[in-house]
Amino acid sequence: MQRQNIFHQSFEVTKEQRQALHGHKSYILWFTGLSGSGKSTIANIIERKLHELGISTYILDGDNLREGLNQNLGFSQEDRKENIRRTGELAKLFVDSGIVVITTLISPYAEDRKEIRKRVAKGEFIEIYVKCPLEVCEKRDTKGLYKKARKGELTNMTGISAPYEVPETPEIVIETSQYSSEECGQEIINYLKINDYLTY
Ligand SMILES: Nc1ncnc2c1ncn2[C@@H]1O[C@H](COP(=O)(O)OS(=O)(=O)O)[C@@H](OP(=O)(O)O)[C@H]1O
Ligand SMILES: Nc1ncnc2c1ncn2[C@@H]1O[C@H](COP(=O)(O)OP(=O)(O)O)[C@@H](O)[C@H]1O
């Protein structure tokens, strides 16, 4: 990899100026959790609520990114690492553009999530652990993936044949087997309000 002839370019308009134009801060709402835990459902609710509050948002969804930007990646530990790294870099660019970016990747490895936290300024990485027991996710099985994994038709399935490392100190934990999706969404909005994330 040739990095020695690369020169970082700076431009006149700053992240802070873009944030001021939008009228709010920009940051990453990084959802992490098992397949079927509720990441996409809650992200959808959050985006709607933020949109109604006049906040500019964008969702980076794991499945959707794998259709394009990350289409050459599978589900080995190495590929997941690259998947998270690329998505983290993309999310960082969204933050620089002044937009609130919501990511909904399983992101099962603690180290990969920590790397992204290190790449952005303090307070710009809000880790949201979507907590839900494997048995509940498996019962939901909205995509039929757990069934396939149990039958041996799908390898490296998170929670079954690949690990999920629970976040140690996430900013927010939501329990989707205990509370309704609206209640979980509201909990995140409350966190953002209390911690002054909804204004500039
Ligand atoms: N083996 C295996 N394990 C887990 N998930 C699988 C697998 N194969 C396909 N899928 C589908 O891919 C979605 C997860 O992709 P991600 O990019 O979020 O995964 S990761 O963060 O790189 O671990 C995941 O989406 P969610 O169910 O929304 O989590 C599935 O739709
Ligand atoms: N409290 C809840 N929060 C989120 N999803 C819930 C909840 N209760 C039931 N569900 C259901 O669980 C499923 C979660 O699927 P999804 O949001 O696609 O999960 P993920 O993106 O983590 O794979 C959806 O069918 C949703 O309707």
- Domain ranges within the chain, ordered by starting residue: 15-133+164-193
pLDDT tens by residue, 5-23 = 999 999 999 999 999 999 9
Q: Which residues pair with 101 in a beta bridge?
A: 28, 58
> Euclidean distance between the first and final Cα of the chain, in Å?
39
Q: What residue type is assigned to position 93 of the chain?
A: L
Q: Is residue 156 within 8 Å of residue 76, measured between CB atoms?
A: yes
Q: Does the pTM of the predicted model rise above 0.80?
A: yes
Closest Cα to atom 27, ligand 1: which residue? Answer: 35
- ipTM associated with this complex: 0.99
Q: Is 36 annotated as a binding residue?
A: yes
Q: Which residues pair with 172 in a beta bridge?
A: 128
CATH of region 15-133+164-193, choose from 3.30.9.10, 2.40.50.140, 3.40.50.300, 3.90.1530.10: 3.40.50.300
Q: Is 177 a catalytic residue?
A: no
* Predicted pLDDT at 4: 87
Tokens of 30: 């990084």
* Predicted pLDDT at 26: 98
pLDDT tens by residue, 93-146 = 999 999 999 999 999 999 999 999 999 999 999 999 999 999 999 999 999 999
pLDDT tens by residue, 28-62 = 999 999 999 999 999 999 999 999 999 999 999 99
Pairing state between β 100-104 and 125-131 = unpaired
To test the pocket of ligand 2, the residue of 32, 41, 181 to mutate (highest count of ligand atoms within 8 Å of its CB) is 41
pLDDT tens by residue, 72-90 = 999 999 999 999 999 999 9
pLDDT tens by residue, 148-189 = 999 999 999 999 999 999 999 999 999 999 999 999 999 999
With the C-alpha atoms ordered 86, 88, 90, 96, is the resulting torsion angle positive or negative? negative
Closest CA to 134 of 155, 152, 150: 150
Q: How confident is the model at residue 1 (pLDDT cuts 50, 70, 90)?
A: low
Rounded Cα distance between 71 and 65, Å, is 7
* Predicted pLDDT at 82: 98
Tokens of 132: 């839900």
Closest CA to 158 of 127, 130, 134, 132: 134
Q: Which residues pair with 128 in a beta bridge?
A: 31, 172
Q: Is 159 annotated as a binding residue?
A: no
Tokens of 158: 């998170």
